[in-house]
Amino acid sequence: MSRKTSLDALFGAKAPERLSADNRPAPAPPTLSADNPSAPPPVLGPARARSGAVRAMGATLDDLKARARSADNLETGSVVAELDTAQIDGSFVADRVSDATDPAMAGLVESMRSGQQVPILVRPHPEAQGRYQIAYGHRRVRAAAELGIKVRAVIRPLTDDELVVAQGKENLDRRDLSYIERAFFALRLEMRSFPREVICAAMATDPPNVSRFITVARTIPEDIVAAIGPAPKAGRPRWMDLAERIQSKGRVAIDRLIGDEAFQAMSTDERFAAVLAAISAKTAAKRKAKPKNWLDGEGRAVARIERTDNRFVLTINEELEPELGDHLMSRFAEILAEHRARKE
């Protein structure tokens, strides 16, 4: 018979009813039966009436045992507690792009109004005593804060590496991060000097794919991504298309667009489409620039000039000016050398 069983038998103690994480009575302890032969045997004999001193001693022992269980559970990560959202800070590596128009957020708030089904994961804050840092569950914390309720959380000691891997794994399991959010998550991990194998574990992918994510995130200005939002319908090809257009055409048209109130009222996928259309329209306008005629002193169209993105086409009307093309070509090397020298 264990020391605990002996003490309970001695004092006739009835353990206080335990509550589960969702504040419901926990299942009754196992009893000995054919189906459960390993359950501990019940303590036989009539319960004794306890004096006040004995009851007080029993309560103290119960409290000590409960505290010991909580300490052990905290070490193993099995504590589920209700925390005030004001005690909780976000992860030190952001994994989401904020979206004020996210319709799913309102649905999550309504769902949590009826009760939180899945706890979040936090660790004791490494730099602020009495506070906690989120590994995953940022949106549930936001929803709880909006409702003014506490949030259920698993409290577990985690290293930085363990936190980001848990954070990435949860996002992968839920499949609710967009391509660009995953790309910037990978970039932020790299900027914090996490080893590539940790980034791969957090992203659940291989090094070449991680490199592609980071390349995309480095190419697109973060403020443009913040203005667009997560854009879940846009994958890597469309983001790369946008990145290439920004690099070659600049962002004047985009800056003008994202400052517009009508743009800000769009959904995130609509904002992505609008930005891509704005910079594509600028490109198309340049491609379709009207050809120009070059006139001589007599007003004759001796040459025709056409410009595209990276081409300059000169057409000579040799009916008006015979052999001018041959003359230009004979001097082309000289003209090119002069042009390069001027640029230097």
pLDDT of amino acid 194: 95
φ, ψ for residue 122 (rounded to 5)? -130, 165
Q: How far apart are CA 213 and CA 204, in angstroms?
A: 12
Residue type for position 246 = I
pLDDT of amino acid 6: 38
pLDDT of amino acid 296: 85
Residue from 294, 297, 317, 326 nearest 307 by CA: 294
Residue from 193, 194, 214 nearest 202 by CA: 194
Q: How far apart are CA 232 and CA 105, in angstroms?
A: 15
CB 129 within 8 A of CB 121: no
| 298-319 pLDDT, tens digit each | 889 989 988 775 678 899 998 8
Beta 79-83 vs 151-155: how paired, if at all? Answer: antiparallel
Beta 120-124 vs 151-155: how paired, if at all? Answer: parallel
| 289-302 pLDDT, tens digit each | 678 888 888 889 98
Q: How far apart are CA 31 and CA 248, in angstroms?
A: 74
Residue from 79, 49, 65 nearest 16 by CA: 65
Mean pLDDT value across the chain: 78
Position 192 pLDDT exceeds 60: yes
Residues 6+ apart with CB under 8 A from 166: 121, 135, 136, 158
pLDDT of amino acid 148: 94
List the structure tokens of 207. Answer: 């090094």
| 49-77 pLDDT, tens digit each | 445 554 554 554 555 445 445 444 444 55
What pLDDT band is residue 172 in, cutting at 50, 70 and 90? confident
Position 343 pLDDT exceeds 50: yes
| 82-123 pLDDT, tens digit each | 999 999 999 999 888 877 667 678 888 988 998 898 899 999
Beta 120-124 vs 132-136: how paired, if at all? Answer: antiparallel
Position 184 pLDDT exceeds 90: yes
CB 43 within 8 A of CB 8: yes
Residue from 276, 213, 284, 287 nearest 242 by CA: 276
pLDDT of amino acid 288: 56
Residues 6+ apart with CB under 8 A from 108: 139, 140, 143
